[in-house]
Amino acid sequence: MISRDKHIFLFDLSFPQLQELIKSWGELVFRAKQVWEWTYKKLAGSFDEMSDVPKYLREKLKQEITFTHLTPHTDLLSSDGWTRKILFDLHDKSQVETVLMGYEERRTACISTQAGCGLGCTFCATGQAGLQRNITAGEIVEQVLFFDRVLQLKDAKLTNLVFMGMGEPFANYKEVMKAVDILTDPNGYNFGARRITISTVGLVPMIEQFAEEKRQVNLAVSLHAATNELRETMLPINKKYPLEVLIPACRDYTVKTHRRISFEWALINNVNDTREQAKLLVKILKGMLCHVNFIPLNPTIGYKGQESTRENIRKFREILTKNGIPNTLRIRRGIDIHAGCGQLRQEAARRNKILHT
Ligand code: SAH
Ligand code: SF4
């Protein structure tokens, strides 16, 4: 049942919910199909664009359903033109960041799954600011469509989606999975599940649930350290789910799904880029169907660590490669527009403070 006390948001509706709603107005069900296709196939920017829906029905849709929750607050393009980042105001003034990255044939959107994050990883700008609220499936979906509409104007489209913006996707599991279901609906937006990646800080019960669901969506786990001692100084959640429960859960995931798991590792100078950490990492990942993604630390206001030197990165990766652990060094994009997780909101808040004090 759709709640009638709150205003309904279009992108929160699954197709059956949209059908139910339109039917409850005494309309033929195929109208729901029309609206769904305008929304997800033709990427309409308003109900008015839905030209084969009768005018009276478009008016009713406008009255009953909110078309957008996202209002751009800050919109930045990197100097190389390849990265665009938008800080959106939601209708209640909480905020999310969404980044579009272009690289050769790829157009990747980095989507937020919460407004802020309550998990407090020390080096993360989002974690430094705390949680505002969970966002809804529709607020996740709208971030994606917003960028795809922009790309459509240039005859391009999104090729990849990563849930690596603000927030912990597995702390908002239900809404994130509903968004995935809406985005991958073959009769609608039809985005390939294999081109979606969800990144988690390591909420073990949700990793287990995700493994059971056997979705085609890729899973990445933010590891960043190979000992509990170090990991819990960076990611407080490690106290609740230490490596001895996290790593077996990751292994089980690969066994159950036959899918490769990715590990994220932000390289921080003389913190987690040592020979000792590399060797321990090899030990814990040995034999697992996995891949390690390295990224040099993005500097943030609240964390003193620096990115690793090239030499340290080279040596660290060499140890992994020699031991048969596939790994990639990701390029950091859009530094000049604060494109790291949560950084634009941090910068906007800092400027605000400067302006208002
Ligand atoms: N909450 C999820 C997804 C969002 S963060 C998670 O933690 O996995 C996406 C990725 O960015 C994570 O791997 C996170 O550890 C990393 N990250 C956060 N702050 C960073 C920074 N300052 N530099 C480099 N990577 C960072
Ligand atoms: Fe939250 Fe992920 Fe940032 Fe940690 S790294 S604070 S889990 S968004």
Residue of the CA atom closest to atom 13 of ligand 1: 222
Most informative mutation of 95, 122, 126 for ligand 2 (most atoms within 8 A of CB):
126
Check whether 286 has a pLDDT greater than 50.
yes
Q: Looking up tokens 């599940």, which residue turns up?
A: 193
Does the annotation count 311 as an active-site position? no
357 or 257, which is more confident: 257
Pocket test for ligand 2, best of 207, 341, 343 (most atoms within 8 A of CB): 341
Pairing of strands 8-9, 95-103: unpaired
For the chain, give every residue range classified as CATH 3.20.20.70.
Answer: 69-192, 201-330
- From 261, 264, 346, the mutation candidate for ligand 1 (largest count of ligand atoms within 8 A of CB) is 264
pLDDT at 103: 84
Q: Which of 49, 97, 213, 290 is catalytic?
A: 97
As a whole number, the mean pLDDT across the chain is: 93
Nearest to 278 by CA among 225, 239, 326: 225
Residue 220 CA, closest ligand 1 atom number: 8
Task: Give CA torsion, residues 131, 132, 136, 140, to 10 deg.
Answer: -70
Would you say the pTM of this structure is higher than 0.85? yes
Q: What are 304-356's pLDDT values in tens digits?
A: 999 999 999 999 999 999 999 999 998 766 555 555 655 666 666 665 543 33
Contacts for 212-220 with beta carbons within 8 Å, 24 or more apart?
A: 212/256, 213/177, 214/256, 214/257, 215/180, 216/192, 217/180, 217/193, 218/194, 218/259, 218/260, 218/262, 219/253, 219/259, 219/261, 219/262, 220/164, 220/261, 220/262, 220/263, 220/264, 220/293
Cβ < 6 A, ligand 2 pocket: 117, 119-121, 124, 126-127, 167-168, 201, 222, 341
pLDDT, position 337: 55
Helix (H, G, I), strand (E, B) or coil at 267: strand
Phi and psi, residue 169, nearest 5°? -55, -35
How many angstroms does the Cα of residue 199 sit away from the middle of ligand 2?
A: 10
What atom of ligand 2 comes closest to residue 166's alpha carbon? 8
Mean pLDDT for 119-148 is 97
What is the pLDDT averaged over residues 20-31?
97
Cα distances (Å, whole numbers) of residue 266 to 59, 88, 194, 252, 271: 50, 26, 24, 24, 10
Architecture of domain 69-192: Alpha-Beta Barrel (3.20)
- CA nearest to 10, candidates 122, 120, 142, 189: 142
Distance spanning both ends of the chain, measured CA to CA: 48
* Percent of the chain clearing pLDDT 70 (strictly above): 91
Cα(165) to centroid(ligand 2), Å:
9
* Residue 164 alpha carbon to ligand 1 centre in Å: 7
Domain with CATH 1.10.150.530 in the chain: 8-66
Identified catalytic residue from 124, 250, 290, 341: 341
Six token digits for residue 324: 């048969």
- pLDDT of 5 reads 46
Assigned fold of 201-330: TIM Barrel (3.20.20)
Is residue 341 part of the annotated active site? The answer reads yes
Q: Which ligand is nearest to the CA of 220?
A: 1
Question: Is the domain covering 8-66 a CATH 1.10.150.530 domain?
Answer: yes
Return the residue matching tokens 């033109």.
81
**Residue with CA nearest ligand 2 atom 6:** 127
